[in-house]
């Protein structure tokens, strides 16, 4: 069969329109996939595997994953006559799969950031794999969702309720030891459902004081928000037995929710949180490379002088972790990594 020029033009236009429709459908389908919580759970699992691969053998991770990235480094802007702004490395051929390195004044200095990470990983010891924790997963997911709403404009690691990571984590889980502390406190609540609490401040930290009936005392550091609550609503005293200037406050205690109330204001009982760490990162990556992109950003930690995110992933004492991932058109992926040195038990009531 002979196809005329007119027919060829018709078929070409039809093919173009078909390709355009397919491209638009594919893009829309991808957006639906990225906004699906099931996709976020998959990425969390992939991030967990990526982090444990790093911890199992940091040196091998440096060779297999980080060293190949050096060959992908590009100058921004590309035109060498324009002032240098940053460098980017690419995890795939998809232009969305990049990590920007804003440090330094040249591509050579950007490469030095990668070399520094490689050198540290090659010197690092092999570490125990982490275990997933449901309370930490819930905590991390809550913060990732919270961070989507202007988190980058707040102080680092502060949530919309003005809490540091420890205070946030303690609303989702607690150690056996922390729950035993609460049980001891609850036994001292009188028949009217009230108890007297004490705090004192030393340097920048607040300390919560326990005064056992048999004598003696215990105290431990607490979140600043709790210390300020007692200081603002209580009276100045010399804390009994401790002999420190501090504050006393009588509170109504809801033992079901572990809530302490003074007048119209309330706060949760400060469950002691074990040593812990938190990482958060956000940005646009493809579905296929999101997990690796998010974790590699923490490892390279560009623009963070102390490389604190990398050190958290390589902290030898942590044993349990949670991961929370969300996605939005404005921020792309947001991922949170919460980790503790002790196991947390789930709490009945969470916020």
- Mean pLDDT per block of 10 residues along the chain (351 residues) reads 40 44 44 87 99 99 98 97 97 96 96 98 98 98 95 90 92 96 94 97 96 92 94 98 97 96 96 96 96 98 96 98 97 97 84 42
Q: Which residue has the tokens 């004492």?
A: 317
Task: Give the chain's length.
Answer: 351
Helices (H), the chain: 5-34, 37-56, 58-61, 107-123, 134-147, 165-169, 176-187, 224-233, 290-300, 308-313
Phi, psi angle pair for 306, to nearest 5°: -90, 0
> Is the CB of residue 261 less than 8 Å from the CB of residue 275?
no
CB 19 within 8 A of CB 27: no
The token pair that represents 110 in the structure block: 């950007």
Which CA distances in Å does 134 have to 52, 141, 211? 17, 10, 33
306-335: buried (b, 16+ CB within 10 Å) or exposed (e) per residue? ebebbebbbbeebbbbbbbbbbeeebbbbb
What pLDDT score does 162 carry?
87
Task: Report the alpha-carbon distance of residue 258 to residue 272 in Å, rounded.
Answer: 13
Please state the domain extents for the chain: 38-167+275-346, 177-268
What is each CA distance from 325 to 37, 43, 146, 153, 304, in whole angstroms?
A: 9, 7, 11, 19, 22
d(C-alpha 68, C-alpha 273), whole Å? 40
Q: Which two tokens stand for residue 243?
A: 């002999």
Sequence-separated contacts (24+) of 64-70 with Cβ below 8 Å: 65/292, 65/296, 66/114, 66/117, 66/118, 66/121, 66/296, 66/299, 66/300, 67/118, 69/99, 69/114, 69/296, 70/111, 70/114, 70/115
Give Cα separations from 334 to 39, 43, 268, 291, 292 (angstroms).
Answer: 13, 11, 28, 11, 13
Alpha helices (H) in 62-124, listed in sequence order: 107-123
- CATH number belonging to the domain at 38-167+275-346, selected among 3.20.20.70, 3.30.930.10, 3.40.33.10, 2.40.50.140: 3.40.33.10
């Amino acid at each position: 069969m002979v196809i005329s020029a007119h027919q060829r033009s018709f078929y070409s236009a039809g093919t173009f329109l078909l390709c355009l429709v397919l491209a638009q459908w594919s893009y829309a389908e991808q957006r639906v996939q990225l906004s699906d919580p099931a996709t976020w759970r998959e990425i969390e699992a992939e991030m967990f595997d990526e982090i444990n691969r790093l911890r199992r053998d940091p040196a091998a991770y440096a060779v297999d994953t980080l060293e190949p990235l050096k060959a992908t480094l590009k100058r921004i802007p590309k035109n060498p006559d324009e002032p240098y702004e940053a460098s980017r490395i690419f995890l795939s051929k998809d232009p969305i799969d990049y990590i920007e390195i804003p440090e330094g004044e040249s591509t050579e200095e950007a490469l030095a950031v990668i070399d520094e990470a490689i050198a540290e990983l090659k010197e690092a010891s092999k570490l125990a794999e982490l275990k997933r924790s449901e309370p930490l997963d819930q905590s991390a997911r809550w913060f990732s969702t919270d961070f989507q709403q202007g988190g980058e404009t707040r102080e680092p690691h502060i949530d919309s309720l003005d809490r540091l990571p420890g205070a946030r984590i303690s609303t989702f889980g607690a150690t056996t030891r922390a729950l035993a502390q609460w049980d001891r406190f609850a036994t001292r609540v009188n028949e009217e459902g009230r108890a007297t609490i004490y705090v004192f401040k030393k340097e920048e930290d607040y300390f919560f004081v326990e005064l056992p009936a048999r004598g003696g005392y215990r105290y431990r550091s607490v979140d600043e928000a709790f210390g300020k609550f007692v200081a603002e609503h209580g009276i100045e005293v010399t804390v009994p037995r401790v002999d420190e200037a501090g504050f006393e406050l009588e509170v109504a205690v809801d033992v079901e929710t572990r809530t302490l109330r003074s007048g119209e204001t309330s706060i949760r009982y400060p469950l002691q949180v074990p040593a812990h760490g938190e990482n958060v990162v956000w940005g646009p990556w493809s579905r296929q490379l999101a997990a690796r992109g998010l974790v590699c950003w923490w490892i390279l930690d560009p623009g963070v002088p102390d490389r604190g995110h990398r050190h958290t992933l390589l902290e030898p004492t942590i044993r349990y972790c949670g991961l929370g991932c969300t996605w939005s058109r404005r921020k792309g992926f947001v991922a949170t990594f919460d980790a503790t040195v002790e196991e947390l038990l789930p709490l009945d009531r969470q916020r």
